[in-house]
Structure formats: structure tokens, C-alpha cells
Amino acid sequence: MNPSRRTFLKLTGLSLLGLSARPAWDALAGNEKTKFVKGPEALKGKRWAMVVEMAKCREGCRDCLDACHRVHNVPDFKNSKDEIKWIWKEPMKAVFPEQEHPYLGEPLKERPVMVLCNHCDNPPCVRVCPTQATFKRREDGIVMMDYHRCIGCRFCVAGCPYGARSMNFRDPRPFIKEVNPEFPTRTKGVVEKCNFCVERLAQGLLPACVEACKEKALIFGDLENPQSKIREVVQSRFTLRRKPELGTSPQVYYIL
Amino acid sequence: MLEKALIGSKKYWIWLFFLLVVLLVGAANYLRQLDYGLGITGMSRDVTWALYIAQFTFLVGVAASAVMLVLPYYLHNYKAFGRITILGEFLAVASVVMCLTFIIVDLGQPARAFNVIIYPTPSSILFWDMIVLNGYLLLNIAIGWTVLDSERKEIAPPKWVKILIYVSIPWAISIHTVTAFIYAGLPGRSFWLTAIMAPRFLASAFASGPALLILLCFILRRFTRFDAGKEPIQALAKIVTYAVIISIFFVLMELFTAFYSQIPEHMKHFTYLFVGLEGHRGLVPWMWASVILAFGAVILLINPKTRENEGLLALACGAVFVSLWIEKGLGLVVTGFIPSPLDKITEYTPTGPEVAITLGVWALGFLILTVLYKIAISVKEEVEN
């Protein structure tokens, strides 16, 4: 072996060793912490769900919407083309088109209803994602996103029958009014949506929208827990879900 | 054999140079898209797939059509196609390259494209589409190249190629079936939620692909010494005739189901497409152009006298190609999103950069096609001399 080749091999070996140093150091030093580790205070559930009680929802109020978009660094592009939405209002006739009839009064037809990701029990978005960047958390049924894995193919957007998903058609960061350092901002070219506030549940907090609603129109809880308030409401009151006939088993229930 | 592509007439080089310019303009616009994001296109929150994905869908059909030459030649020993199967295979290569490029161009995060391989997800149709498209590309490169090489050496092609050829026949059906499944399995998009989607894709593919092949044969005869001959062209013309009629028939089936059942979810997309919805009629003139071209082509193709007239045949093939390009490459994808799941109508118009990128990808495909055809024709000329 000639000397230059030996030096080359040595250098290559050293470089490879160098590459592995950081992960090894991190593992030894216990640096490998994720941002939203569940502490002892975390809320635990087996099937998180939400009830939206429209009678309590005050017209013109934007508290839940603003709270959500503020804590999650949702940009405001001020145009419907690039728009990102996690929770927003839609007229009732669009949310429950199958319930519309010619004698339904205009005010009811146009009545704004809060919509968000339904965290379906059988989510088509998860089924179609080619990289598992969107997935259903086994322990509690939340449909989540990995913004670092998403390739931006938008198959999930086509797959979602509720229009709950938004694509970052451009860099969202300049359009965030005030960045919340506690939650990651997104990059252009990935899809995002409501995450049922996984990061807050891990800290023992209710979702931001639920907390922000002074009228208590939003009920959040564990449907699998027979003692929970949401279970009692869903059991005793007539609720509607959006497009249940599609077999997605949406987990946002409406009392109109 | 690659060296054959390096010797050509002045016209050949001017054509390549022209394609290269279009390709570079597209590439420059793609750099802008990489910088700004997909917002540079006409796509929006409601219409999230458009021109790029539609081109991909249309070109999968063109690629699959090679089987219309391979099947009669290899399974039924239809000798007349022997001279031109290579044209079908190389057309498939160029088309699949365009398909794959259109998918990459459509990704929000193209640098992460390999995540599809790093995290393989069999539940996703896109995962399977990646497999069948890449497989079909490799099959056609291997088959086309080996058979041409044997032709040059004037020996029989090696036996293993025969196996690949037999595999490529169902494989061609698979690329279109899997691509149709991308659309046909989505619960909330009633426009696409139809079991006839894959058969529809196949019918239109077997019309648009062979129509393009006929046109390419005419172009080759005009600019080179290669003449495909009357018989294979007439046989292809019959395939186009049947396929375009079946394709129209399938669309009529869709219309019957939607409008006889009167289910609003199924009617509104077709209403948007053909007459417009609530004053939005962006695609209406296009769709009627497609209808007129398709029926005009059928009239020319069905009558043996007009079909055998090569000028009219070229006209009919052009009409079939444009008609189906409008139907697949424009109408099918965008209309699935109009109206949106929340009943909102957001129309779509492509932007300048988007059109430039699209033309750039087409130029890339034609560049590959030109070089491959140049090689194939040169080899054939060499053997004949």
C-alpha cells in the first residue's frame, strides 16, 4: 500500500468516527430529549374527542380560533389561496350539507359552525400518506403530523373529506404575527392541521381552543373513560358528526 | 449505440437545441419555484393538485400504450408491428421519465422524495405507483435497448428479454390501474370515487398513446428514411378507433350514474365541468372542445375511407390526442377539487412559471424521445444498408 493511500484511508476512518461522535455524546449525556415529553402531569386518555355545542357559541366571537392560531404559529396570509387554517368557521349548510332543506331559514343556513380536524378513528389521510408523516397515535387516537418527514405531495389533502388540511404554499414565517417559541414554526412545502394540542395535553393542559372558550361551547375529553363529561354528553344528547357515512368515524361531535 | 445520437442533420440539431432552450426556461422557473414554494403556481388551499399531477396522469396513459404494439407482436405474432415495437417502447421510456419528473416537480419538499423509500408504506397508493412506474421504466429501457442491440448485430435477441417482455405486458396495465387508484379510493372526492376509473384510464390510454405513435410515424417518414409502412399504421388506427369509442362510452356511463341517480355529490362536479356551477365556468369551453374533437375523430376513424386517407388519419389522431389531453391533463384532476369538501368553488388557472415548468418537462421528454428515436432509426438504416 502506498503512503498516500494509507493516509487517505486513515483520514476517512477518522472522519467517519467524527461523524458518529455527536450522536454518541448526545446519547451518553442524555441530550436526546424530545420537546414534548409527557410529564407526570400529562392528561391521559384512550380516545380523545371533542363536542361542539353550537347553541352556546357566541356569534362574532373568535376566541378559540385566535387562541389556537396564536399558540401554534399559524400564519395569516390574508388571502384564501395560501391560507392555513387549524380551526375556523363555516356556514352550517356547508358543514352539514345533507341537513339542508328549502324551508331552513337563512340565518340557520348561514350560521357559522366551528370546524377542525376530526381526528378520525379510521383516517383516510393516514392511509394515503406515502411516508407515514401523518399517523394516528395508537395510545389515544390523535392524528398527528411529522413536519420533518412530510414530502409535500398533498395526497392527504385530497384524501381528507373535511377540508381540514392546509398546505404551506410558501414560507409561513414572515406571516406569523408573534412567534410562540414553545411551538415549532413550519417550513414551506409541508402540510399541516389541528393536532388536538398534543403538546398541551402532555403538560396537563386542555386544548387551547377549549380553554379560550368562555361560553364553554367546546367539551374535550376521553370517550373511552365512562366517567368523563364528554362520554356523558355524547351518551345522553343527540349529536351529529360530519359525513359519518364515509366510514371515517370522525371524533368531533356537534350539538346544533 | 449512443454514438448514433451524436451524428445528425442540421434539422436534428436545431430541434434538439430548441428543446434544450424550452427545458432550460422550465428549469430556471423551477429554481424560482424551489425558492418561493408551490405558491408560485395557480394551486390553492382548495385546489391542491393541478397541471403537474394532471400531466403525470395523462402521460402514464401514453406510456402504457406501448403494450398495444408489444402484445400483438409478441403474443399473437402479428409481424407488421415488428418494425415499430421499438418506437412504442422508447415512447414509454420518454413518457415515464416525464411522469416521474412531474411528480418531483409537484412535491413541496422534493429533497425529501426518498422518504417514500426510507419509510415504505404499502397502504399508500403513491408507494405502489413509485414501484410500478420505476419498474416499467427499467423494463422498457432494458427491453428496447437489448432488442435494438441484437437487431444491430443481426442476431436473435437473448432469451431473458422474452421473459421481460412478457412481464412488461401486465406491468403496462398495472401502471395505469395503480395511477387510477390514487384517485378512485378517496372517500370524500365523489368525482373520482368510481370503480370505472381504472378501465376509463386504460381506454383513454390506448387511444391517446397509439394516436401519438401514428403521428410520430408520419413525422419520422417525413424527416427520415424510416417508413413504418401502411399496414401497422392502419392496424394502430383501428386500435385508436376502438379505444376512443370505449373511452367515450365510459364517460357516458359516468354521466348516466350521476344524473339518473340525481345524487348531488355526484352531479355537481360534472355540472361544473360541462355547464359551469354558480357562474363558474372555467373549464366549460375546454370540455366542449374535447367533446367535439372526440366525436369528430370518431367520425373520421370509423369510416374506412377517411381512416385510410393518411392526411385525415393524422387529423383524427391529433384530435384524439388533444381531446384526451383536455379530459385527463386538464379536466379530471382539477374538477375533483371543485367544489371543495366544504362546498366552496375555487377555480384554478395555471400561472406563467407553472406553464413554463410544465413545458420544460415536456421538452425533456421530447429530448429523450428524439435521441432514442434517432438511435433506433440509425440502427435500422445501418442494418438495411
Residue linked to cell 387508484 = B181
Residue B370 one-letter amino acid: T
Question: Is residue A26 very low, low, confident or very high in pLDDT (cuts 50, 70, 90)?
Answer: low
A138-173: per-residue pLDDT in tens?
999 999 999 999 999 999 999 999 999 999 999 999
For residue A31, pLDDT beyond 50: no
A198-250: per-residue pLDDT in tens?
999 999 999 999 999 999 999 999 999 999 999 999 999 999 999 999 999 99
For residue A22, pLDDT beyond 70: no
CB contact under 8 A, A133 and B336: no
CB contact under 8 A, B116 and A130: yes
Query: What span, in angstroms and rounded, lies between the C-alpha atoms of B263 and B271?
Result: 12
CB contact under 8 A, B48 and A154: yes
Domains of chain B: 2-384 (1.20.1630.10)
Q: How many CA atoms lie within 13 A of A33 on its CB side?
A: 8
Enter the C-alpha cell of residue B270.
360534472
Complex ipTM value: 0.92
Q: Find the CB nearest B109 among A84, A150, A169.
A: A150
pLDDT computed for residue A40 by the predictor? 79
pLDDT computed for residue A4 by the predictor? 74
Domain formed by A48-255, architecture: 2-Layer Sandwich (3.30)
Enter the C-alpha cell of residue B298.
370518431
What are the DSSP calls for B210-231, one per residue?
A: HHHHHHHHHHHHHHSS----HH
Residue A100 one-letter amino acid: E
Residue B79 one-letter amino acid: K
Query: What span, in angstroms and rounded, lies between the C-alpha atoms of A196 and A71?
Result: 12
Q: Is B36 on the interface with A (CB under 8 A)?
A: yes
Q: Is B224 on the interface with A (CB under 8 A)?
A: no
Residue ranges per structural domain of chain A:
48-255
More confident residue, A40 or B307: B307
* Contacts (Cβ under 8 Å, ≥6 apart) of B6: none
CB contact under 8 A, B45 and A159: no
Q: Is B250 on the interface with A (CB under 8 A)?
A: no
- In a structure prediction context, what are the per-residue pLDDT tens digits for chain B, which is 385 residues long? 788 888 888 999 999 999 999 999 999 999 999 999 999 999 999 999 999 999 999 999 999 888 999 999 999 989 899 889 999 999 999 999 999 999 999 999 999 999 999 999 999 999 999 999 999 999 999 999 999 999 999 999 999 999 999 999 999 999 999 999 999 999 989 999 999 999 999 999 999 999 999 999 999 999 988 888 899 999 999 999 999 999 999 999 999 999 999 999 999 999 999 999 999 999 999 999 999 999 999 999 999 999 999 999 999 999 999 999 999 989 999 999 999 999 999 999 999 999 999 999 999 999 999 999 999 999 988 888 7
For residue A33, pLDDT beyond 50: no
Question: Is residue A41 very low, low, confident or very high in pLDDT (cuts 50, 70, 90)?
Answer: confident
Residues B239, B206, B243: CA angle, nearest 5 degrees: 55
CB contact under 8 A, B343 and A97: yes
A74-120: per-residue pLDDT in tens?
999 999 999 999 999 999 999 999 888 999 999 899 999 999 999 99
Enumerate residues 130 to 189 of chain A having a beta carbon within 8 A of any beta carbon in chain B.
130-133, 149-155, 157-163, 166-171, 187-189
For residue A21, pLDDT beyond 70: no
Q: Give, as one character, the DSSP assignment of residue A58.
A: P
Q: Is B35 on the interface with A (CB under 8 A)?
A: no
Enter the C-alpha cell of residue B285.
369551453
Query: Which candidate in B121, B132, B340 is best for mutational testing of the A interface (most A CBs within 10 A)?
Result: B121
Cβ-Cβ contacts under 8 Å, A93 against chain B: 343
pLDDT computed for residue A32 by the predictor? 44
What b/e string do you get for B98-110 counting C-beta neighbours within 10 Å, with b at 16 or more? bbbbbbebbbbbb
